[in-house]
Amino acid sequence: HGIAAPLCKLEGVAKNRKLSELLDTLEFNEAVIFVKSVARCIDLDKLLASCNFLSISIHSGLQQEERYVTSHQVL
* Residue range 14-53, pLDDT digits in tens: 988 888 888 888 888 888 898 999 999 999 999 999 988 8
pLDDT of residue 1: 59
User: Quick one: 57 exposed, middle or buried, by C-beta within 10 A (0-12, 13-18, 19+)?
Assistant: buried
Residue 57: CB partners within 8 Å, gap ≥ 6?
Answer: 41, 42, 44, 45, 70
27 within 8 A of 47, measured Cβ to Cβ: no
22: Cα separation from own chain's centroid: 12
